[in-house]
Amino acid sequence: MKLPVSWLKDFVEIDLNDLFDLARMLTMAGLEVEEIQLAGLSVPETTRREFKVHGLAWDRDKIFVAQINEVMPHPNAERLVLCRVFDGAQEHIVLTGAPSLLAYKNQGPLPKPFKVAYALQGARIYDGHAPGWSLVTLKPARIRGVDSSSMVCSEKELGISEEHEDIIYFDDDAPVGTPLVDYIGDAVFEVKINPNMIRNACVLGIAREIAAITGKPLRAPRSSLEGVIGKAEGAAYAGIQILNPELNPRFVLGLVRGVQPQPSPYWVQRRLRLAGMRPINSVVDATNYAMLEIGEPLHAFDYDILVQRAGGKPPTIITRTAAPGEKLTTLDGVEHTLDDFTVLVCDTAGALSIAGVMGGLESEVSENTRNVLLEGASWNFINIRKTTASQHMNTEASYRFSRGIHPELAMTGVKQCLDYIAQWSGGNIEPELVDAYPLPYKDAVVRITAGEVNRRLGLNLTTTRIATLLDRLDFEVEVEGEFITAKSPAYRTDISEGVIGQADLLEEIARLYGYDNIPASRLADALPVQRRRPLYEGQERMRDCLAALGLMEVISLRLTSPENERRLLPRRNQSLSEEGQENLDADWISVRNPIAQERSVLRRSLLASVMEALEVNSRKSGARASNERLAFFEIGSVYLRRQESADQGQLPLNEDDLLPIEQPKVAIVLQGKREKTGWKTAQAETLDFYDLKGIIEELLDMHALKGSFEPAAHPSFHPGKCARLWIEGGDGSPVDAGIFGELHPQVKENYDLAVEPVLAAELDLQPFLKSNISLRSIESVPVYPPVLEDIAVIVDEAIPAVQVESVIRKAGGKTLAKVSLFDVYRGAQIGEGKKSLAYNLVFQVQDHTLTDDEAEKVRWKIIRLLEQELKASLRGA
């Protein structure tokens, strides 16, 4: 909310010499001042700025209230005039182009001089002609042969508003010769109004807060109608009929006869503009002014139109919900088709306005209005919210009504506004008011003790002190023994009763006492029991392992598009529903209100996320030319519909069957050189399948888990270079832990990448959580020396290496401590369709030094079993 601070002075004593002090006071009371816009006043010179400040401070000795005594023609210019301007000390001849002065040329001394803002040479003002806000210093100039060194100012030149059509004309009582800053110097605070503080979305509300904080008395506005009680049954000029008091607890009407809508006094227009509203005419301005001042949105009807609609009789205002399909054109000219819950203000002829949101076009006040019927009402805030959401209408009125305005304000608002209409537009206020109040508001009553307050805030306040604090906030307070009973003031609706009301009071007590005055302490309460968080611990361990293995962690946006994830399928498959496509062509969980098409669904593939990171980095200049090593991983969830993931690992938090499965995954991609780019790595080899497999094997070791690998088929992967990882679970049976391999060349084509193969994995995190790494037992280091032997065996190409190794292990038994493959050979020497696998064998036992003979026996046993089971032959034998 834009708050012109000078307005506060109408209601409470404040010091405008230190705006920071005032802004700080409001901020620390929960009314955060986000910005200070100077419109004349200045801020103190300090090293700490504290607030964002912009705008213009007026020179006290260079900008004054002055009067134009006579308007004379410019000798050489039709559209310019020369004015005799008196600044309180002397007269100056001032050149101006203000269009409104042209009419007064050659009329001699003005019978009633114009009061204007006058800036002398050297004054800092804004350039009225330049777009935006650019500061200039007034310098002597010669315009069409006439010297000019001072100026009569527009609002823009003084930083009051963007108005530069014409100069400012002050009201007649403006004191000539007074520095302008002393007359209308101001500043606008941009105050953040929280949803529970709508009572402070008005000048009076903020003045009340200041009065409570400073202890200064509040001078609430007094209406000429004070003491007048409205008549529920209606007045001679109008009646009210409320059909649903739940939606419309109160409706107040007043009437002013014989008005003449006209421009409002300058001080009213200036305040409205500073507050961000556009002055329209003295009747409409009065409703807006009263709303800004008191907080009650008001609506003025052209009374004669209502009488006409009622066939010449006094109108009856009816409030009701809209009929099915009912339409209304609001005063902004838009026709609305209304919902059945929308409340309308109607008369016997039909709808007049959307209650609490916007008036209708037909009954709007115009220049020709002579009699004004004024509405002040109270509306159900939830209903107003539903209406604004459904009709996409946000107005000053709906902003307030949708947050809960106390019904008491309907009456005070109407009374105050009637005064303003009569003062600024002429006319007579009908002494009778109409007040239908079928559902009186019950102000909350809360009972609390000092013990409760102190226990929760960590303070040591006495009952009296608490009662005083609440009293300053206008609560009606009664103290009986240890109990404090406080009744909420009749302008706020944010206080509840019972235990919630106590929390409301605590906040008010703490706020007024000052959060900063509450001493900080350390937690002394009992600690909870310790609980394990396997998922958290597991994911962090996985992160550490992968970083230790030389991979870079990425974190991606989790909203994506189906098109983006479908890139993980070869193009030919994208529209088909082939077997084996698993999650990739199923349906994504979509967002109902996406910010963009490419962020319209929750991801189903973590690999797709990491592929995007690869693509981003592959695109950057130089990466491709140098075949840079790119190695990324990500740990995070994918989102799957519940029914389709019934057989998959479940998170512990699935309380609600409605919610999708969030399955934690690990994705890895590798591309480029095996080594990091350096000055001697030009010849470095390119990463391949076994680099990725090596990383996965290390992961298993680091988790003390046993895994196995088998060839797998998946449309995203090269059919010959794809494997599935199985991890031995707690019961010894293997658990599917995901798939990895070289990306299918046709999938790679879907990305903007270098030519080298992409190695990729998408693994489930869940099987890795079974790791019992911190309690695993280890084998002791052998004391007796080993016997080392190499063997090379020739087998059919079709026999996988894992089978050869398992036969070797079986035959080797306990004596064979270690088997490691060191070479794979294919070539003419061993014949087509064959391969030679060479192993280092380590024979070793824990209890004695193995002899060569013992080792030799086992070696032959291994060779014989390889011959029997795999038809292998010993190479070089």
Binding positions for another protein, 13-52, rule CB under 8 A: 27-30, 32, 47-52
Q: Of residues 124, 231, 472, 558, which one binds another protein by CB under 8 A?
A: 558
d(CA 679, CA 51): 53
Least distance between another protein and beta carbon 650 (Å):
12
Between 426 and 465, how does the x/- string for binding to another protein read (CB under 8 A)? -----------------------------xxxxx------
Q: CB nearer to another protein: give 288 or 502.
A: 502
Binding positions for another protein, 712-741, rule CB under 8 A: none
630 binds another protein (CB under 8 A): yes
- Which amino acid would we find at residue 10? D
CB 122 within 8 A of CB 137: yes
Q: Of residues 56, 83, 191, 197, which one binds another protein by CB under 8 A?
A: 197
682 binds another protein (CB under 8 A): no
Q: CB nearer to another protein: give 516 or 847.
A: 516
d(CA 737, CA 744): 20
Q: Of residues 93, 477, 506, 845, which one binds another protein by CB under 8 A?
A: 506
Instruction: Please identify which residue in the block is written with the tokens 């958290």.
Output: 536
Q: CB nearer to another protein: give 34 or 797.
A: 34
Residues 185, 188, 189: CA angle, nearest 5 degrees: 140
Q: CB nearer to another protein: give 334 or 547.
A: 547
Binding positions for another protein, 641-660, rule CB under 8 A: 651, 653, 655-656, 658-660
Residues 827, 828, 833: CA angle, nearest 5 degrees: 65
Least distance between another protein and beta carbon 645 (Å):
13
- Maximal C-alpha separation, the chain: 135
500 binds another protein (CB under 8 A): yes
Q: Of residues 67, 150, 463, 502, which one binds another protein by CB under 8 A?
A: 502
Nearest Cα to 221, choosing from 204, 201, 209?
204
d(CA 504, CA 521): 22
Q: CB nearer to another protein: give 367 or 656.
A: 656
CB 657 within 8 A of CB 579: no
Binding positions for another protein, 355-384, rule CB under 8 A: 381-382
- Beta bridge partners, 373, equal 255, 301
d(CA 372, CA 299): 10
Q: CB nearer to another protein: give 95 or 602.
A: 602
- Beta bridge partners, 251, equal 377, 436
Least distance between another protein and beta carbon 663 (Å):
11
Q: CB nearer to another protein: give 362 or 508.
A: 508
Spell out the SS3 assignment of 141-173.
EEECCEEECCEECCHHHHCCCCCCCCCCCCCCC
| Secondary structure of residue 874 in the 3-state scheme | strand
Least distance between another protein and beta carbon 478 (Å):
22
Spell out the SS3 assignment of 443-509.
CCEEEEEHHHHHHHHCCCCCHHHHHHHHHHCCCEEEEECCEEEEECCCCCCCCCCHHHHHHHHHHHH
554 binds another protein (CB under 8 A): yes
503 binds another protein (CB under 8 A): yes
CB 583 within 8 A of CB 716: no
Q: CB nearer to another protein: give 68 or 631.
A: 631
Other beta carbons within 10 Å of 212: 21
Q: Of residues 173, 333, 392, 595, which one binds another protein by CB under 8 A?
A: 595
Q: CB nearer to another protein: give 348 or 449.
A: 449
Total binding residues toward another protein, as defined by CB under 8 A: 108
Q: CB nearer to another protein: give 65 or 453.
A: 453
504 binds another protein (CB under 8 A): yes
Between 378 and 417, how does the x/- string for binding to another protein read (CB under 8 A)? ---xx--xx---------------xxx-------------
472 binds another protein (CB under 8 A): no
Q: Which stretch binds another protein (CB under 8 A): 153-161, 514-522, 565-573, 844-852?
A: 514-522
Crossing angle of helices 689-702 and 534-548, in 10° steps, is: 130
Q: CB nearer to another protein: give 662 or 728.
A: 662
Least distance between another protein and beta carbon 529 (Å):
6
| Secondary structure of residue 375 in the 3-state scheme | strand
For residue 673, give the DSSP letter: B
Q: Of residues 474, 507, 736, 869, which one binds another protein by CB under 8 A?
A: 507
Nearest Cα to 184, choosing from 291, 56, 91, 85?
56
Binding positions for another protein, 522-541, rule CB under 8 A: 522-531, 533, 535-536, 540
124 binds another protein (CB under 8 A): no
Q: Of residues 240, 268, 584, 613, which one binds another protein by CB under 8 A?
A: 613
Least distance between another protein and beta carbon 380 (Å):
10
* Residues constituting the chain: 877
Q: CB nearer to another protein: give 198 or 277.
A: 198
The burial of 306, by beta-carbon neighbours within 10 Å (0-12 exposed, 13-18 middle, 19 or more buried), is given as buried
d(CA 410, CA 630): 68
586 binds another protein (CB under 8 A): no
d(CA 623, CA 630): 9
